[in-house]
Every structure is written in structure tokens, then in C-alpha cells.
Chains A and B, each alone.
Chain A
Amino acid sequence: MNNASRPVPHSPGRRALLVGAAAAPLWAGRAFAQADPEVAAYKAFVGARAVRTERLVLDIPRIADNGNLVPVRIALPGPFAPGAEVKSIHLFSQKNPVPQMAVFHFPVPVGRVEVESRVRLAGTQRVAAVATLADGTLYAATADVIVTVSACIDGT
């Protein structure tokens, strides 16, 4: 009797839990669609050109406690065919007031394409890096960073 009566008070809770579990992915999907983390400056830079995403490494913390100082490393492993060396790497931010954070130029071919710096991020956002090769090929990488304390919080 105890066993028979127990599930009754429990079942609404379980059902609610199930409904909640079923609804969660839908809700998450919608939230993702609403806040589409597009990096506008990156889109504008790339335009209609084709972008490859399999090679460029964008190393940035998943969670950055201090948005005023976020270490970032961008690397493009070689080797590079003659005429297809890296010419520049652009680094874009989704939410910063100045979306183009830095540009790194390689006037001469270098044996190891890797740059490291520290950037400011105004809030949780997506960052994008694009490497332009001498033959026009574009390699891109994006990363989402959760920023606990934003840089340049506000001017109020």
C-alpha cells in the first residue's frame, strides 16, 4: 500500500521534471538563435570570400575573470607552400566598441606563425581570428569567452 501510494504524490514532480528536460533543449536552441553570436566585423572583413576553418588555432580562455587582460594565442601550423605564406592575422571582437582588436602583419615569410598577446574584452562574447595567406586563402577560427568582469564597463 505504501508502495502504491508513494508514486502518486511524486509523479507530478517527475512529470514536471520530464517536461522540463524535454523543453530545455528547445528553449536553449531558441535562446541561441536569438543571441546569434555573430562577429560583425569578422563577417564584414571576410565578405563573400571562402573561409577554411580546419587549420587556424585560436587559444583563449573559456572563462576570463578579468576582461581587461585576456591572454590570446593565434597559431597557424605550417608548412606553407611557396607563394602561400601568411601575410596577416586579424583579430576581431563581437562586442568591443572597437571591433578590430589587432592586426599582425608578416612582411617576410616566417618559419613559425604564432602570435601571442593580451586583449580587452567588453563582456561575454565571441572572438574571431582570420589569417590571410599570400594566395588569398583565408583561415578562420572563433572562440566563445565568458568574461566575468568586463573591460570598459560603461561611461555613466
Chain B
Amino acid sequence: MTDARIQVPAQVRRGDAFEVKLLIPHPMESGFNYTHDGKPIARNVIRVVTCRYNGTEVFRIEPSSGVAAHPLFTFYVTARESGELVFEWADDAGASASARAKLIVID
């Protein structure tokens, strides 16, 4: 769960909206599938993903089973100060994880 891949620019200009890519390895088990023995596989999808930028929440996603396995999200954040982006997510199984990315803001 913690081997998420994050892509942010090395440097961004203050005030610019920069692209953030977040890929979370997760099966996003929809709950509609069955094992070979015919037993239903319990639903286990990521319920919420948040992105905090120097402590302030800047983006939040509420996925469902309608989001593909190993979800990839691309979104934009406006650069304010150098610091850190913290991504956190939690799934139906109660597991949660986080990932971080450093950000340098230039003028």
C-alpha cells in the first residue's frame, strides 16, 4: 500500500497550478466478483484519498468500485510555498497509508 507513485514537478513558480499524478497500487475489489469456489469476494475499495499541501487540504477524492484497480489520479494544485504534499487514503478493509512529495516553489 505504501509503494504509491507520485509525480510532481521538481520546481514550480509561485502562483502556478502544477500537475500532480498519484498512482496507488490497490486491487479496488468491487465486491461483484467471485472466487473459483464460487465464494463472493468482499468489497475492498479506497473510500477516500486526500492531498494536503503544507497542512491544508487541497484536494479530496471519494472513489467507488467504479474506479479501476490501481487507481491513477491526475489533478492540479496551486503553488504557494515550498514544502510538502501529503497524500493519505483509506480502504474498506480499514487499511490506510500515506505518501509524501517535496515541492520547491521559486519566484
A45 close to chain B: CB less than 8 A: no
Query: Which one, B61, B68, B74, contacts A68 given CB within 8 A?
Result: B68
In order of increasing CB-CB distance, the 7 nearest A-B pairs are A101-B66, A111-B17, A116-B74, A112-B17, A105-B60, A112-B76, A118-B68
Other contacts beyond A108-B56, A108-B58: 13, CB < 8 A? A70-B68, A99-B66, A100-B66, A101-B64, A106-B58, A108-B78, A112-B17, A115-B75, A117-B71, A120-B65, A152-B32, A152-B33, A155-B40
A98 within 8 A of B: yes
Q: What CA separation (Å) do A115 and B19 show in the bound complex?
A: 10
Q: A111: which B residues are within 8 A, CB to CB?
A: 15-17, 76, 78
Q: How far is the CB of A104 from chain B (nearest CB, A)?
A: 6
Q: Which residues of the other chain, A, contact B76 by a CB distance below 8 angstroms? A: 110-114
User: Can you list, as one digit per residue, whether each of B1-32 has a CB less than 8 Å from chain A (1) or not (0)?
Assistant: 00000000000000111000000000000101
Which residues between 103 and 156 of chain A lie within 8 Å of chain B, taking CB atoms?
A: 103-121, 151-152, 155
Bound form: Cα–Cα A151–B67 in Å: 11
Q: How long is the Cα–Cα vector from A98 to B57 in the complex, in angstroms?
A: 27
